[in-house]
Amino acid sequence: MNIGCHVSVAKGLQNAPQRAFELGCEAMQIFSRSPRGGKAPELTPEICNQFKIQNLKFKIKASYIHTPYYINFVSTNQRICYGSVKVVREELERGNLLDVKYVVAHLGSAKDMIHRQSIKKAIEMLGKTLENYSGKTKLILENSAGAGNIIGSSLTDLKTILDGLKSKAVTGICLDTQHSFASGYDWNNFEKTLLQIDKELDLQNIKLFHINDSLVELGSKKDRHAHLGEGKIKLKSFEKITSFAQKNEIDLILETEHDKVKKDIEILKNFRAKI
């Protein structure tokens, strides 16, 4: 199990491994393109080779790509829907060039669609995204905080979507601790919550943790990350999550601000050292 955080790719993603190392990372997450829109920068053979070399040099054992914020597989606007298919497929292909382990994607919001239809739509569009894809980089779906008609706050829904996909290119989920807490999964009652997650999702489907504390209360349905020990999830709960992740070889990626993320990483490493 590796511990790391989301890292900036300013002035070229080949610079990210050194930034990650300086923060104490063993793994890292990046955007391979602007999360807010625009054309993806070209990945030349030289950039790809430099990225791999720098990962080896700075001992970054696993890399992950997070898809842009605007992805929406369940929009009734076909341009947005098919644009999401195109971008996520591109991210998988880019991840494959970079030897990235997983691409992490949210599913989007179904504003004008009943829930059952939105799940069906998500399966359909993800199927189009993965059609004839054979790269080593796999897709994992991230749970959401639950505001509005966002798809993915319910782990049962994510399991239904995973079961509905025939492609081996999608392999499970990224479980965000803050999003799940905001959706009503109480990490401060760890054993009960783990049983609930196993029942709804199957624990074997957890492939990555986004490990963030929550500024907001349990069930608030708001996406508000906090540094470890500064939110509503107890440090003891993060210690238990770390132990679970270590036993199951699941990496931990922080998405907290860089002002204190180094301390967050140290907290997790200290928890791991106790196991």
pLDDT in tens, 156-206: 999 999 999 989 999 999 999 999 999 999 999 999 999 999 999 999 999
**pLDDT band of 147, cuts 50, 70, 90:** confident
What fold does the segment set 3-274 form as a domain? TIM Barrel (3.20.20)
**How far is residue 169's CA from residue 150's CA, in Å, rounded to a whole number?**
23
Tell me how far CA of residue 19 lies from CA of 4, 11, 164, 236, in angstroms.
Answer: 11, 12, 39, 29
For residue 36, the number of C-alpha atoms closer than 13 Å in the C-beta half-sphere is 0
Sequence spans of domains, the chain: 3-274
Q: Residue 139 burial (CB < 10 Å; 0-12/13-18/19+)?
A: buried
Each residue's pLDDT tens digit, 21-60: 999 999 999 999 999 988 999 999 999 999 999 999 999 9
CA 143 to chain centre: 8
Sign of CA dihedral 9, 11, 13, 16: negative
